[in-house]
Amino acid sequence: MAVKKGKNMKKYLICVDSDGCVMDTMNQKHKEYFGPAFVEYYNLEDIKEEALNIWLYINLFSKTRGINRFLGLKKTLEELQKRGKLGTEVEAELKEINDWLENSKEYSNQALLQEYEKVQKKGLKRAYEWSMQVNKSINLQNQKSSAFFGVQEQLSEFKKNADIAIVSSANAEAVKKEWEEEGLLSYINYIMTQETGSKKEGIASLLKLGYKKENVLMIGDSLGDWQAALENEVAFYPILVGKETLSWEKIIQDALIPLMDKNFTKKYQEYLLQEYYKELADENKG
């Protein structure tokens, strides 16, 4: 969805991540699709358990939770490289992936494909094929995506005072499909996904429409969401890992009201982040 200034913009803007924040899909996607496809495409069957554990730690149970898939791929391959578990061919491909990530303005399938068509490097081809297989597997899944309990009710409450934007690192097609299936798309004014840039860039683009920073809130389940909010100097409310329903139940009292009453102080923000760190650590122990 193109970012265009609305005719009746509200004073407040609520930015919301999708996977793991609104949609109860993150664990399933990484455990059933991203991780297994990674093992298959990088021929890691002989160290399957180790490779999957690293993938899940980086993408679900560490401070990089919610990271872009290609950055997650890079970090997982780098960890396996440190452990001496990559062959020379994949090590060379890792360098090619790193070169693309360092120079690309967009971490999407389309951007990766365009770069591969220019340079014809095996590392980019394998990463692209892996990513497309993940998308294909997710699209073919029989289980319908579902939002966490209470999300629709709270989005309806948000809508009374604020515009709402999806700010996600997932691909637009998947995001729109999931939100439409759950009857949530009608609440949304803007959709910012991997095709429009990073989460940081998405929030920045929305701010250019005229929203004041002190009237903008980012809601997410990862420290990447927090970083995007921090770099744009807007408030951040964490959806606690393992306590998503409780987080949504409390979100009006704990996030929207403090924002509107100008009580979303740095001290309060730090308190919320400490609660997030605590739950993330507990989840990793489990």
Tens-place pLDDT, residues 192-203: 998 888 899 999
**Can you state the angle between helices 172-181 and 122-139, rounded to 10 degrees?**
10
CA–CA distance, 146 with 55 (Å, rounded to integer): 23
Mean pLDDT of 130-148: 85
What is the 3-class SS of 179-236, one letter each residue? HHHCCCHHHCCEEECHHHCCHHHHHHHHHCCCCCHHHEEEEECCHHHHHHHHHCCCEE
Residues 29 and 141 sit within 8 Å (Cβ to Cβ): no
Same domain? For 118 and 194 the reply is: no
- From its phi and psi, is residue 170 left (phi > 0), alpha (psi between -120 and 50) or beta? beta
Q: Which domain holds residue 221?
A: 12-24+148-285
Residue 225: how many CA atoms within 13 Å on its side-chain side? 30
The answer for residues whose C-beta is within 8 angstroms of residue 93's C-beta and 6 or more apart is: 121, 122, 123, 126, 127
pLDDT at 282 over 70: no
Same domain? For 92 and 20 the reply is: no
- Residue 220's beta-bridge partner residues? 238
Q: Of 89, 120, 139, at which residue does a domain stop?
A: 139
Same domain? For 121 and 201 the reply is: no
Same domain? For 262 and 251 the reply is: yes
pLDDT at 264 over 50: yes
Same domain? For 255 and 212 the reply is: yes
The owner of tokens 């909010």 is 229
Same domain? For 64 and 105 the reply is: yes
Q: pLDDT above 90 covers what percent of the chain? A: 75
Q: Which two tokens stand for residue 139?
A: 């699209």
> What is the reported pTM?
0.76
Q: What is the number of other CB atoms lying within 10 angstroms of the CB of residue 170?
A: 24
Give which of 24, 25, 32, 68 is closest to 52, Cα–Cα.
Answer: 32
Same domain? For 95 and 59 the reply is: yes
CA angle 246, 260, 213 (to 5 degrees): 105
Q: Is residue 126 part of a domain?
A: yes
Binned at pLDDT 50, 70 and 90, residue 286 comes out as: very low
Same domain? For 40 and 180 the reply is: no
Give which of 55, 82, 49, 81 is closest to 69, Cα–Cα.
Answer: 55
Same domain? For 95 and 119 the reply is: yes
Q: What is the pLDDT of residues 22-46, one digit of tens each?
A: 998 888 889 999 999 999 999 999 9
Q: What is the DSSP string of 122-182?
A: HHHHHHHHHHHHHHHHHHT-SSPP-BPTTHHHHHHHHHTTEEEEEE-SS-HHHHHHHHHHT
pLDDT at 276 over 70: yes
Domains in the chain: how many in total? 2
Give which of 67, 79, 2 is closest to 42, Cα–Cα.
Answer: 79
Q: Of 139, 171, 203, at which residue does a domain stop?
A: 139
Same domain? For 134 and 180 the reply is: no
The owner of tokens 């250019």 is 208
Q: Is residue 2 part of a domain?
A: no
Give which of 13, 30, 273 is closest to 166, Cα–Cα.
Answer: 13
Task: Look up the CATH number of the domain holding residue 213.
Answer: 3.40.50.1000
CA–CA distance, 217 with 121 (Å, rounded to integer): 41
Q: Is residue 3 part of a domain?
A: no
Same domain? For 275 and 229 the reply is: yes
CA angle 35, 20, 241 (to 5 degrees): 100
Q: Is residue 209 part of a domain?
A: yes
Same domain? For 162 and 20 the reply is: yes
Q: Is residue 78 part of a domain?
A: yes
Q: Is residue 180 part of a domain?
A: yes
